[in-house]
Amino acid sequence: MTRNSNFYLPILNELKLKTNLSNIQKKLSISKQNLSYHLRELKKQGFIIQKGRGWYELTNKVKDSTKYGKLLVKDSSRGHGYIWELKLPQEIKDWDKRIEVLKQKGIHFNLVGALKTTPRIKVLGRKVWLCNDHLRIFDKPNQSYYGKTAIESRKYAMQEVILLLQVLETKLGISLNISDIYHKKEHYALIKNDLAIEHNKRGELIHISDKDGEWLLVDDSLEQGGELETIGKKSLVTNVKLQKWWNDKKEHDFKITDTFLLERMNQVTENQMAFAQNLESHIEAIKTLSKAVKELKEEVKKFKK
């Protein structure tokens, strides 16, 4: 790994969860010198402060993802708009029991939903609904999770929601099965995407749908120029494929177009046809030569007699 590799966001994400630099170094598979370099740069830009030898803390600047600025790498992934659901333990599924537990614990709640019967509380700045048989957890407004891919973005989002669930277990005095968590909603965007930037400059909107509804759009939520965003039930898988497709196109300078492929296929077909014709001609020539050789052999036999 070189210093040109972008570790700023992964380091910030790791510092949210741990302060041991050796563990962060091992987790990210970078050298001590490389880690020190990125920490110095993050300190200069005001994202972290040094509290002691090998001890860094995040500043309030990190809370506003729109201020990441140059840390954002072109066509990396931004996960956002998460809503999670998790099965509610049997012991507090009953509405009266949920309300009773909240009152006993002195936890402030509001009743929300269409019938205003669902208790809603706040945990670590996130709204949590105690629905009939599940918890519904809403991410913070404008909260973003960055990674090289959508999968990495989701991983960082999951790390924070797991912390939230641990706090929730303590507050409510219940046990939650984290493996039952389900992503109800999630969005992923390729940030600073050239295609999105160009369409935003022109003031052109892109909204693409299929039989399952809208799945791709051009957005500029963070005012970074443009985002190519996938939404819907398959947004994670779609974004991974979209990122790979886009990067492949960029690597070949967008020369591998449908027209390019069709021309090459036609050329290959023409070459195959020419080869077949040549082969047929060669076969005919070989047959003629074989016939001539046979005739020559007959003449030689006659001559010997």
Give the model confidence (pLDDT) of 78-121 as tens digits: 999 999 999 988 878 787 888 888 999 999 999 999 889 899 99
Backbone dihedral angles phi then psi of residue 145, each to the nearest 5 degrees: -130, 120
Kindly indicate the confidence band of residue 66, based on its pLDDT and cuts at 50, 70 and 90. low
pLDDT at residue 76 tops 50: yes
Mean pLDDT confidence for 59-71: 69
Task: Provide the percentage of residues in the chain whose pLDDT is more than 70.
Answer: 88
Query: In terms of pLDDT, which residue wins out, 281 or 97?
Result: 97
* C-alpha–C-alpha distance, residues 210 and 217, integer Å: 12
pLDDT value, residue 13:
80
* C-alpha–C-alpha distance, residues 192 and 116, integer Å: 41
Over the chain, what is the mean pLDDT? 84
pLDDT value, residue 254:
77
CA 202 vs. chain centroid, Å, equals: 27
pLDDT value, residue 3:
46
User: Per-residue pLDDT tens for 168-215?
Assistant: 999 988 899 888 899 999 999 999 899 999 888 888 888 999 988 999
**8-63: which CATH architecture?**
Orthogonal Bundle (1.10)
* C-alpha–C-alpha distance, residues 258 and 219, integer Å: 26
pLDDT value, residue 69:
60
For every residue of 8-70, DSSP letters joined together read: HHHHHHHHTT---HHHHHHHHT--HHHHHHHHHHHHHTTSEEEEETTEEEE-GGGG-GGG-GG
Mean pLDDT confidence for 270-290: 73
User: Per-residue pLDDT tens for 117-168?
Assistant: 899 999 998 999 999 889 999 998 878 888 889 998 998 899 889 989 999 9
Query: In terms of pLDDT, which residue wins out, 20 or 301?
Result: 20
* C-alpha–C-alpha distance, residues 83 and 140, integer Å: 10
Domain boundaries, the chain: 8-63, 71-251, 257-305
* C-alpha–C-alpha distance, residues 200 and 305, integer Å: 94
pLDDT at residue 31 tops 80: yes
